Every structure is written in C-alpha cells, then in structure tokens.
Amino acid sequence: MGEHTTTTARGAAKLTLRARKPGYAVMQECLAIQAEGPGLTRWQRFTGADPLRAEAASWYKGALGERQVAAELEALGPEYTVLHAVPVGRRSTDIDHVVVGPTGVFSINTKNHSGHTVWVGGRTLLVDGHRTPHMHRALQEGERATALLSAAAGGPIPVQPVIVVAAERLRFGDKPPAAVTLEPAQVGAWIAGLPRVHSPEAVRYLSMLAEERGTWHVDAVVVHDTLRHVQRFERLERDIAAATARRRLLRRALGLGVLALPAGAVLGYWWAVAAGALAAGG
C-alpha cells in the first residue's frame, strides 16, 4: 500500500505514515541514480553484467539495511507502533524508523556497513578507522524528534536516539556511546526489555500523533505512490540476483571446459545454460 489519498464512502481519507515502506527514501535515490544511466545491452545481460550502477551501490546497500532492521522491529508485536522513512522538516530528510511503545519512543538511524569493522565510543563512530558523522546525526534526529513530538503532544515527550549498525565486527571503546548502538538482531529485544514508561492509553495517543505526517513535516499531506517505488526496487533486486546466477553459470561452464571439454562443446554448453538463465530471468 502506498502513501496516497484514497476515497471511501464518506469521502477522501488520508493514509497515515504507517503506509510508508522501510528504506523508501534511499530506494528513491537508488532508483533515480539507476535511471540516469543507460540500460544494459543484450550481450551484457546475457553474460550476467551487474545491473547496479556503481553510483547507486551505497544507496542500494542502505535500503537493504533498513529493510533488515524493519523486519526485526516488526517482531515487537501489537503493543508497538513502528513507522519507517518518517519525513522530517521541509525537505527530503527522514528518520529511518520511529518506534512508539510502552517502553518509550525511539528514533532509529540504520547503517549498513556489512563487511567492515565499526568502532564506537562517546560521540565518535569509525568505519575501518575512518571518522563518520553517524553519531552526530543520530543525536540530532533524537533531539529534533523530541521537539516535534512534544510540540504535537503539548508536553515533553522524550525520544531516544538509537543507531543500528550492520557490520563485520562492531567494537566499543572505553567511553559509552552517546547514543545506544546495537546490531540489527539486538534492537527488538533491547526495546522490549526496557522498563515500561507509558500506559496503554498514552501509547495509543502518541502512536496517533506519530502516524500523522503533519507532526513531523511542514507538508501535512503529500501524494506519493510508495508501492510503485518498492516494486521497482524489488525488480532491481531480482535483476541483480539473476545476473549473479548467470555469472556463476559462466564460471561453471568455463571450469568444465578447461577440465574436460573441447572449445566447441564449452561454447555450446554455455549457450545452453545462459539461454536457460535468460528465460528464467524473464
């Protein structure tokens, strides 16, 4: 379901931010960059060339990371409201995830650094030894979310910033992180395990406020078909998987040719398996 306006028997009914899909903003950027470049040639598709443009790779990886964290958060259950890609302010800035529940309200910043070493201490977060602005931005998001939600509620509602990092190795310094820093598999249990600070009535009220776009963004109503972007992104995922499978088939065919088959047989075998892969990939 996309974030758009629907018509009911009583007239126009605006969908809330519950309709936003995880990773929506980074999906948009990834797809926009993909659209700027030429498509693959028939031969490139045949040989399994990667359809993902180099300039879009970080956005693609980021979207996968947000979807992974979203899956962990959805396991929290019905006591919690989980929102994704929450638009904030005037421009296209968003908060990756906002969670409202009996244990508090949380703004979650997701970073996908799989394959890299991440070190965290105080207000510093390093990736392979290089300083990043991740901690500073996560703290800013928490402060901004606190101000906006408190204004909507008419009283102080603290929002706790959290960073969720996918990494090959997550290390911590002697100084505790300025914002709670977790791995994806930890975030749901951590939130659920905190002391309860909101009654069921308060959770319902805060969830209602958090779901309204006007709580966070100056444009209270924006018509976007988020489902269309998700479908395009999922098509890109399938194309990448199909290209990877084709490259494996090529390596397999070449390996067989080197070991046992004459060149003509190798070519014939490769044409057969590649044609099958093309048919399977649509």
Q: Is residue 197 a contact partner of residue 137, using CB atoms and an 8 Å limit?
A: no
Q: Which residue has the higher pLDDT, 119 or 276?
A: 119
- The pLDDT tens digits for 132-173 are 999 999 999 999 999 999 999 999 999 999 999 999 999 999
Instruction: Just give the CATH number of 5-27+58-213+224-230.
Output: 3.40.1350.10
Q: Across residues 174-197, what is the average pLDDT? A: 96
Q: What is the rounded distance in angstroms from the CA atom of residue 153 to the CA atom of residue 138? A: 22
**Which stretch of 6-10, 80-84, 118-122, 219-223 has the lowest confidence by average pLDDT?**
6-10
- The pLDDT tens digits for 3-24 are 443 333 343 345 678 878 887 8
Query: How many C-alpha atoms does 249 have within 13 Å on its Cβ side?
Result: 23
pLDDT above 70 covers a percentage of the chain that reads 81
pTM of the predicted model as reported, rounded to 2 decimal places: 0.75
pLDDT of res. 225? 55
Q: What is the rounded distance in angstroms from the CA atom of residue 235 to the CA atom of residue 241? A: 10
CA 1 to chain centre: 17
pLDDT of res. 106? 98
pLDDT of res. 276? 57
- Mean pLDDT across the chain: 83
b/e map 217-253, b = 16+ CB within 10 Å: beeeeeeeebeebbebbeebeebeebbeebeebbeeb
Q: Is the dihedral of CA 82, 87, 92, 94 positive or negative?
A: negative
**165 Cβ neighbours under 8 A, 6+ residues apart:** 110, 111, 113, 118, 120, 125, 134, 181, 182, 183
Residue 185 has which token pair?
Answer: 């598999």
Query: Which SS3 state, helix, strand or coil, does residue 201 take?
Result: helix
Q: Where are the domains of the chain?
A: 5-27+58-213+224-230, 245-281
Q: How confident is the model at residue 205 (pLDDT cuts 50, 70, 90)?
A: very high
**CA-to-CA separations, 254 to 45, 81, 242, 259, in angstroms, rounded:** 18, 52, 19, 9
pLDDT of res. 129? 95
Give pairs for 270-276: CB < 8 Å, separation 24+. Answer: 273/249, 274/46, 274/47, 274/246, 274/249, 274/250
pLDDT of res. 9? 38
- The pLDDT tens digits for 246-280 are 888 887 877 765 555 455 555 555 556 555 555 55
